[in-house]
Structure formats: C-alpha cells, structure tokens
Amino acid sequence: MSPLPKALPFWLSLGLPPLAVLGMMQGGWTIALLPLATWWLFTLLDAITGRTTANPDPQTPEAALTAYRAVTLVWFPVQMALLALMLWYVPQAPHLDTGERIGLFFGMGVVSGTIGINYAHELMHQKSRLERGLADLLLASVLYSHFRSEHLRVHHIHVGTPRDPVTARYNEGFHRFFPRVLRQCPRSAWAAEAAMLARRGLPWWHRSNPYWRYALLQAAFLALALALGGWAGLGLFLVQAFTAIWQLELVNYIEHYGLTRRHLGEGRYEHVLPRHSWNADHKASNWLLINLQRHSDHHYKPGRRFPVLQTYAEGEAPQLPYGYPLMTMAAMVPPLWKRIMNRKVKEWRRRHYPDIADWHPYNKALNPVSG
C-alpha cells in the first residue's frame, strides 16, 4: 500500500474545525459536538477498532513519512483561521448568548489542547526551524510557550524523578496535580534555560533566551484577540487557552502516573526505559493523537517521528486499560482513577522492582536529586 492511504487516518483531526463552525452558526446543542467528538466518539471508535500491536519499521526513511508529517505542518494555519474567525464572529453574533459563547471557546480549547498542543509536541522534537517555529506558534496561541523548554530541558531528562514536576506521584489526584504543575513547571523551565545560558557564560537576559520569543508571541496573540473581538474576545481567548492547558496537563498526568525510575544513590537514577511511561495501543485514539499513546517508545527514543513509534508488550511497558480520551475523563474523578490505576502501579512495582521495600520516598518525591 502506498504511504498516503496508510497516513489518511491520522488526518481525522481536520474533521473537527467544521464542527466548531457548525456550533458557531447554529448554537444550541451543536456547541457540544467538539467535546463529544474528541472524548466520546473516539472512545467508541476505540471499542470498535480495538488495538494494534503491529510495529512499523523504525528505519523507515524520512521521505516515506511525508504524508504523515504534512498533517502537523498544515494544522497551525487551520487552527489559526478557526481561532481568528471565532474571535471576530462569536462576540458579536446576535443568536448566541453568553453561555453559548463560553461553550464555543471551551470547545475551541479542547481542539487547541487535544490537537494543537499535541502537534506542537511532535514538532518541537524535530530539528527543522520550520517545525520548531510552528510549535512555538501553536503554544503561544494557548499562552503556554514555556512548555517547549519544560518538556525538552526538564521532562525528558528528569522524567520519573523528583526533578520532573509532571511525573504524577502515586496517589496524587489530578486536582492536586494540576495547580502544582501550574506553579512548578514555569519555574523549572526558566531555571533550565537560565542554567543552559550560564554554562555558555551568558546572563539570563541574553537575547538567545527563548523566553523573549515566548513573551513576544504570546503578547501578539493577546493583541490579536483584543483587536478581533474586543474585551469580550480577549476574555473568550483566555477561556480557550485555559481549557487547552487543562487538556495538556490531563494527558501529562496519565502518561507517567506513579511510575518512577530507580534511585541509584547520590541523586543518580537509572536510564529511561519503556517501562517508565504508560503505553496504549488503541487504534482510533492513536489516529487522533498521532501515536502519542505509544508514549513508552517516545521517551525511550525521543527522536522518532510519530509514524514509526513502537508499541510494547505488557512485560516491557505498563499498559493503560483504555485510550487517552476515556482515561482523561476518569482522571477527573480521583476515586475512580485510583481504583483503576493504583492496583496497576502496584503490579508494575512488583514486576520491575521487587527488591524495593520502602516506596515512601518515591511516592512523595523525597529521593535526592543531583545538582
């Protein structure tokens, strides 16, 4: 089969913007179509399509991945056009009341978080300036530009250790996790960039600090929202941004919940392995999320593009029982989440670390960290 038909399922995200336009035009119940599609429709499709354990050839040449990569390249102009249209149209639309306007931008945030930030995640891992630039634009559109620094300079290096804010701790509910990462991640990202500059003998205010770019891009999006939609548009833009951030951190929460790397002493930790991320090989939700759920391989081999990410068997990587859409909904109900996942964390510990008797330092992120 040629690459294009095989890549087409990963283009399903382009079916979401028309739902937003329909909601804008019709109002009423149609406003619920975006969250219903991303959460419930793909949960249903997962149940119908099942899982896929087939692994592509990781040595597939770059030229054979063009049809896959293209969806991540075209997404920013699509999302930008939709956001601009909504900022201009929704605040002045006479047939929409305040609740409907907020609901529409909540749905827009679901799209810009579920798809936009996810695509930015794929793009920021690449070497080309175009792809990294698109990642910066997508993140600025939800006022979360520091995620690039935090993800590349902190998360991938320190995942599963106390130095990684977004490794959710065992028995930590999402509603405690979320405000914690909102406080800790900007600080850890800033510290990582300042430390990198210091190693080069440069001060934090040097022009190469990406925070200058982050600030300019985010200010530009705030100004655009104000220009297109007035103060109401600016407020609605903030609803969109917060919703997208919430969606991202829900995913961060479930990706590593309770999974920790062995402390080797003196603040050193074992190398990152597939077993340090939750894996999910549900077919339909991986189409929507461009294989983000093959997260075990992403952390093991961060340079791999999404079409060639591998999946792993139970013995190599812990498995989520359902895809991300359903698991993120479960995470919003901490007693339900803990009932599903705490048993799985304990099984994982018995399988991979039977010699560790005291898990308290791991549960509370109390193990020492290197300087």
Burial status of residue 200 (CB atoms within 10 A of its CB: 0-12, 13-18, 19 or more)? exposed
State the pLDDT at residue 4: 65
The amino acid sitting at 80 is M
| Core vs surface per residue 234-264: b (16+ CB within 10 A) or e | bbbbbbbbbbbbbbbbbbbbbbbbbbbbbbe
Contact 304, 62 (CB under 8 A): no
Which of 24-33, 127-136, 225-234, 362-371 has the least mean pLDDT? 362-371
Contact 314, 344 (CB under 8 A): no
Written as one string, the DSSP assignment of 349-366 is HHHH-TT----HHHHTT-
Model confidence band, residue 3 (pLDDT cutoffs 50, 70, 90): low
State the pLDDT at residue 327: 98
- Residue 2 above 60 pLDDT? no
| Core vs surface per residue 117-138: b (16+ CB within 10 A) or e | bbbbbbbbbbeeeebeebbbbb
Which tokens belong to 328? 């993120």
For range 287-315, the mean pLDDT = 96
For range 158-172, the mean pLDDT = 97
State the pLDDT at residue 173: 98
What share of the chain in percent tops pLDDT 90?
A: 97
- Residue 81 above 80 pLDDT? yes
How far apart CA 278 and CA 270 sit, in angstroms, is 17
| Nearest one of 305, 316, 306, 302 to 348, comparing CA atoms | 316
The alpha carbon torsion through 15, 51, 320, 251 (nearest 10 deg) reads -20
Q: What's the mean per-residue pLDDT of the chain? A: 96
Q: What is the pLDDT of residues 100-156, one digit of tens each?
A: 999 999 999 999 999 999 999 999 999 999 999 999 999 999 999 999 999 999 999
Which tokens belong to 22? 């329909």
Model confidence band, residue 293 (pLDDT cutoffs 50, 70, 90): very high
- Inter-CA distances, 39 with 16, 119, 328, Å: 12, 18, 9
For range 310-316, the mean pLDDT = 94
Residue 271: CB atoms within 10 Å: 8
Q: What is the pLDDT of residues 86-107, one digit of tens each?
A: 999 999 999 999 999 999 999 9
Ramachandran quadrant class, 171 (left: phi over 0; alpha: psi -120 to 50; beta: rest)? left
For range 288-308, the mean pLDDT = 96
For range 314-326, the mean pLDDT = 96
Which of 4-8, 126-130, 170-174 has the least mean pLDDT? 4-8
What share of the chain in percent tops pLDDT 70?
A: 98
Which position has the token pair 């934090």? 204
- Residue 371 above 70 pLDDT? no
Give backbone dihedrals phi and psi of 264, rounded to 5 degrees, phi first. Answer: -95, 0
Give backbone dihedrals phi and psi of 144, rounded to 5 degrees, phi first. Answer: -135, 40
Contact 290, 12 (CB under 8 A): no
Contact 26, 48 (CB under 8 A): no
What interhelical angle do 210-256 and 174-199 show, nearest 10? 140
How far apart CA 90 and CA 31 sit, in angstroms, is 12
Model confidence band, residue 5 (pLDDT cutoffs 50, 70, 90): confident
| Nearest one of 24, 150, 14, 20 to 70, comparing CA atoms | 14
pTM of this structure:
0.96
- Residue 1 above 60 pLDDT? no
State the pLDDT at residue 95: 97
| Nearest one of 147, 138, 190, 143 to 166, comparing CA atoms | 147
CA atoms within 13 A of residue 269's CA, in its CB half-sphere: 22
How far apart CA 130 and CA 115 sit, in angstroms, is 18
